[in-house]
Amino acid sequence: MTSEPTSTQTSGMPTPAAPSTLVQTLQGGLNREEQRTQQQRQLELARRTEEFNQFRALYRWRLWIGSAVFLIAGTWLVADVVLTLAVGWGTLKGSPFRLESSVVIAFLTTSTATVIGLFLVFLRWLYPQGPERSTERTEEPKGTDRAG
């Protein structure tokens, strides 16, 4: 049986003396681990910042497109109402106004289909129905071996 060198602290109890190289090695390892952890945090922060910026840009784009679709659809519906009233009253801005019924039916039908189509296309783009790609990475439990 070998005995390890001991030192006496102020309390008078003997404790094993750790070689300075072991302490330096442990401190170096801890410093490297701390740097690696800090780098991982910075990379994660940069990734999340980029995701947020992309989300914000997409939100602004969708807001702009939504406003444009709403303006186009609203203008189209106002034109429908004006046409319907003009055909019904027989005048448009004081001038006589007459259209064949087939023209009025075709205009109202196509304009209604166009407005509904614009909103459907926009809403399907705004709210996709398919499963969205998950941004979180799945991590394997520590200690599992992929090879075997």
Number of domains in the chain: 1
Using pLDDT thresholds of 50, 70 and 90, give the confidence band for residue 138: low
Using pLDDT thresholds of 50, 70 and 90, give the confidence band for residue 45: very high
Print the domain residue range for 57. Answer: 20-126
DSSP annotation of 129 reads -
What pLDDT is attached to residue 54?
Answer: 92
Instruction: Give a yes or no: residue 95 inside a domain.
Output: yes
Instruction: Give a yes or no: residue 80 inside a domain.
Output: yes
Instruction: Give a yes or no: residue 102 inside a domain.
Output: yes
Instruction: Give a yes or no: residue 7 inside a domain.
Output: no
* pTM score, whole prediction: 0.51
Tell me what the mean pLDDT of segment 15-44 comes to: 81
For 64-96, the pLDDT digits (tens) are 988 888 898 888 889 888 888 888 888 888 888
Using pLDDT thresholds of 50, 70 and 90, give the confidence band for residue 148: very low
Q: Is the pLDDT of residue 52 over 90?
A: yes
Instruction: Give a yes or no: residue 100 inside a domain.
Output: yes
Report phi then psi at 53, rounded to 5: -65, -40
Amino acid at 41: R
Distance separating the N- and C-terminal Cα atoms of the chain = 41
Instruction: Give a yes or no: residue 141 inside a domain.
Output: no
Q: Is the pLDDT of residue 131 over 90?
A: no
**Which two structure tokens, joined as six digits, stand for 63?**
């807001």
What pLDDT is attached to residue 121?
Answer: 87
Taking alpha carbons only, the member of 108, 86, 82, 84 closest to residue 97 is 86
Instruction: Give a yes or no: residue 13 inside a domain.
Output: no
Write the Ramachandran bin of 12: left for phi over 0, alpha for psi from -120 to 50, otherwise beta.
left
- Three-class secondary structure of residue 5 per DSSP: coil
Question: How many CB atoms neighbour CB 87 within 10 A?
Answer: 19
Instruction: Give a yes or no: residue 145 inside a domain.
Output: no
